[in-house]
Amino acid sequence: MRRIAALGIVLALALAQVTWAPRLSIGGAFPNLVLIAVVVIIWMYGVRAGLAWACVGGVLLDLTASGPVGPHALALLAAAYATSLWARNLDRPNAVHAALTAGLGTVAYSVALVVTDGLLGTPAMDAGVVVRLTLAAAIYNAALAPFAIELIRRLRALVRDAPETA
């Protein structure tokens, strides 16, 4: 049941990312909600869960895009891997670690998308624009990650403390 609920949440985040999140753009960049979720999953539930949900979230993003299926999944896996390199060496993560890895994951995500687009021969943006948007998105995602971690912690506490129903 938890996996179905998690799938629903990741699906909702992917849909919000492609429909609602662009309206929150700052400097042309908008939050990558699925990437933030993957970073939070890695910190809260482990690397294996984060990599699995990166794959699922990436495919969901690919299905909403006009291009081929695969680039977003590959890019989210790159972000998850970059986060996992950091996460596996810490026992007690905090909000600063989540923020820094969200920024690092955003850079890995963007690099993977640019490389994949180049290999597929799809049109690419100017390199200067890509760098500016990547840095803006990295800052944006890094700023949101600590709030996402705290939200998940509180939701876990609510679920844990909820009375059992027969």
What DSSP state is assigned to residue 123?
-
CATH no. of 2-161: 1.10.1760.20
Q: How many CB atoms are located within 10 Å of the residue 153 CB?
A: 12
List all residues 6 or more positions away from 69 whose beta carbon is below 8 Å from its beta carbon: 59, 62, 63
Q: Cα(99)–Cα(139) distance, rounded to whole angstroms?
A: 9
Q: Cα(95)–Cα(33) distance, rounded to whole angstroms?
A: 17
Q: Cα(101)–Cα(28) distance, rounded to whole angstroms?
A: 21
Buried b (16+ CB within 10 A) or exposed e, 29-63: bbbbbbbbbbbbbbbbeebeebbbbbbbbbebbbe
List all residues 6 or more positions away from 49 whose beta carbon is below 8 Å from its beta carbon: 41, 42
- pLDDT string in tens for the chain (166-residue length): 678 888 888 999 999 999 999 898 888 899 999 999 999 999 988 899 999 999 999 999 999 988 889 999 999 999 999 999 888 877 777 889 999 999 999 999 999 999 998 898 888 788 889 999 999 999 999 999 999 999 888 888 877 766 665 4
- φ, ψ of residue 93 to 5 degrees: the values are -70, 155
- Predicted TM-score (pTM) of the model is 0.89
